[in-house]
């Protein structure tokens, strides 16, 4: 879920950001958006990737197009970082609904505890603040303002650590919740997930549906 450009062979790869929706537009319309600068080159590259791969457009903040108890395993990496707490809860509830009994969720995400620890070591307040507070809009000029409307700047909304994520998972009904070191998993069949994905900036948590 929220695969971005990390495509896993043999899995259902889903992404549902605005870019994924833009990717479903007819090519001429996209070319116009690109030529006028409404869609920047980075977003356009992502759209090209989504179109070239079999990525299923699923907005995880809505009801997912999967039946109850139909999925064995869900993997998500650094998607919930930009979600508010209620959105994360919705995501976890949908995971629980579609997972089979005994099915598992693995997530990688930013770890506030690690960021604070890094700050205590490097005292780089600008790095810490850029992570925990939304950037002010610096849009200058009409084109940049329109571009911000089409593809708004992302910022982190969720400042969580393993404790707060574990509590939310338990509240919605997950069991066997574990925080793991990079490279480790308790889930059979997790391959070809990269168990070191974004190592150095991630916490790794796994949980099961009862
Ligand atoms: C920071 S990227 C992480 C990409 C990849 N999982 C990784 O770890 O490299 C977050 C991804 O979540 C996707 N995303 C954001 N909001 C989403 C939503 N509501 N539904 C589905 N995907 C979403 C974005 O399009 C983006 O690809």
What is the residue with the minimal CA distance to atom 8 of ligand 1? 77
- pLDDT of 138: 62
What is the residue with the minimal CA distance to atom 11 of ligand 1? 2
Q: Residue 17 domain-assigned? A: no
Q: Is 197 in the pocket of ligand 1 (CB under 6 A)?
A: yes
Q: Residue 29 domain-assigned? A: no
pLDDT, tens digit, 9 for 90 and up, residues 37-58: 888 888 888 888 988 898 999 9
- pLDDT of 155: 63
Q: Does position 27 have pLDDT exceeding 80, yes or no? A: yes
Average pLDDT over residues 75-88: 93
Least confident among 87-96, 139-148, 181-190 = 139-148
Q: Residue 190 domain-assigned? A: yes
- pLDDT of 63: 97
Helices (H), ranges, the chain: 18-22, 27-35, 41-52, 85-98, 112-122, 125-132, 142-150, 162-172
Q: How far is the CA of 84 from the centre of ligand 1 (A)?
A: 14
Q: How far is the CA of 17 from the centre of ligand 1 (A)?
A: 7
Q: Are 44 and 18 contacting, i.e. CB atoms less than 8 angstroms apart?
A: no
State the Cα–Cα distance between residues 145 and 152, nearest whole angstrom: 9
Q: How far is the CA of 150 from the centre of ligand 1 (A)?
A: 17
Q: Residue 153 domain-assigned? A: yes
20/152: higher pLDDT: 20
- Supply the CATH number for residue 144's domain: 3.40.50
Q: Residue 74 domain-assigned? A: yes
What's the mean per-residue pLDDT of the chain?
A: 89
Q: Residue 195 domain-assigned? A: yes
- pLDDT of 151: 61
Residues 6+ positions from 104 with CB-CB distance below 8 Å: 72, 73, 74, 186, 187, 206, 207, 208, 209
Q: Is 168 in the pocket of ligand 1 (CB under 6 A)?
A: no
Q: Residue 51 domain-assigned? A: no
Q: What total number of domains does the chain contain? A: 1
Domain that holds residue 167: 67-208
State the Cα–Cα distance between residues 205 and 210, nearest whole angstrom: 16
Q: Does position 166 have pLDDT exceeding 80, yes or no? A: yes
Reported as a pLDDT band with limits 50, 70 and 90, residue 96 is very high
Average pLDDT over residues 105-109: 97
- pLDDT of 35: 87
Q: Is 77 in the pocket of ligand 1 (CB under 6 A)?
A: yes
pLDDT, tens digit, 9 for 90 and up, residues 119-159: 999 999 988 888 777 655 566 677 766 666 666 566 666 68
Q: Residue 6 domain-assigned? A: no
Q: Is the pTM of this model over 0.95?
A: no
């Amino acid at each position: 879920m929220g695969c971005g450009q990390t495509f896993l062979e043999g899995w259902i790869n889903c992404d549902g950001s605005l870019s994924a929706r833009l990717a479903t537009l007819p090519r001429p319309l996209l070319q116009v958006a690109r030529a006028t600068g409404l869609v920047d080159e980075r977003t356009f590259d992502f759209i090209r990737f989504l179109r070239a791969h079999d990525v299923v457009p699923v907005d995880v903040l809505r009801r997912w197009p999967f039946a109850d108890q139909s999925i064995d395993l869900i993997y998500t990496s650094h998607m919930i970082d930009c979600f508010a707490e209620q959105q994360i809860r919705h995501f976890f509830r949908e995971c629980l609904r579609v997972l089979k009994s005994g099915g598992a969720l693995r997530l990688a995400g930013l770890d506030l505890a690690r960021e604070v620890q890094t700050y205590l070591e490097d005292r780089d307040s600008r790095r810490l603040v850029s992570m925990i507070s939304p950037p002010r809009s610096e849009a200058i000029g009409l084109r940049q303002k329109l571009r911000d409307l089409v593809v708004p700047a992302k910022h982190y909304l969720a400042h969580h650590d393993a404790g707060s994520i574990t509590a939310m998972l338990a509240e919605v009904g997950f069991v066997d919740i574990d925080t793991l070191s990079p490279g480790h998993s308790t889930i059979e069949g997790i391959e070809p997930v990269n168990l070191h994905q974004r190592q150095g900036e991630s916490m790794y948590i796994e949980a099961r549906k009862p």
